[in-house]
């Protein structure tokens, strides 16, 4: 299987379990790892046979900015659902970093699921 990585996608979201975190969006940095078969793109050299990195990035950014979650894990699940619903991707991995969550450290969550695993949730 082939993979695309989109790294250090900067966005923001209202996210957190504490009341003060609900007052304003916080910065997030997201890495995506997308698994798909690029055999057709090898032959055609056509974007319609590949993954549109810009469209995926814009969709994820818009989703995050419109979301309101308590947990990074829940946001990661939402991003996986979004990508699988709108793009031809077999497996999605998401790393979300929340740089302002901890003093002197960066909190992050890594989640990955195939389409089949998401259907079982």
Q: Which residues are catalytic?
A: 98
Tokens of 12: 């923001």
| In contact, 6 and 53? CB cutoff 8 Å | yes
Residues 42, 47, 53, CA angle at the centre, nearest 5°?
Answer: 105
Cross-sheet strand order for the sheet of 91-102: 68-69, 2-15, 26-36, 91-102, 105-114
Tokens 């082939």: give the residue: 2
Question: What backbone torsions phi and psi does residue 85 show, to the nearest 5 degrees?
Answer: -75, -25
Closest CA to 64 of 6, 110, 9, 7: 9
């Amino acid at each position: 299987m082939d993979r695309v990585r989109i790294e250090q996608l900067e966005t923001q979201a209202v996210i957190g379990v504490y009341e003060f975190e609900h007052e304003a969006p916080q910065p997030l940095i997201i890495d995506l790892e997308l698994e798909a078969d690029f055999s057709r793109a090898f032959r055609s050299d056509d974007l319609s046979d590949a993954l549109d990195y810009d469209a995926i990035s814009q969709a994820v950014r818009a989703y995050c900015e419109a979301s309101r979650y308590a947990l990074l894990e829940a946001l990661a699940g939402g991003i996986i659902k979004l990508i699988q619903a709108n793009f031809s991707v077999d497996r999605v991995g998401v790393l979300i970093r929340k740089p302002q969550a901890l003093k002197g450290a960066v909190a992050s969550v890594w989640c990955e699921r195939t389409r089949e695993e998401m259907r079982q949730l």
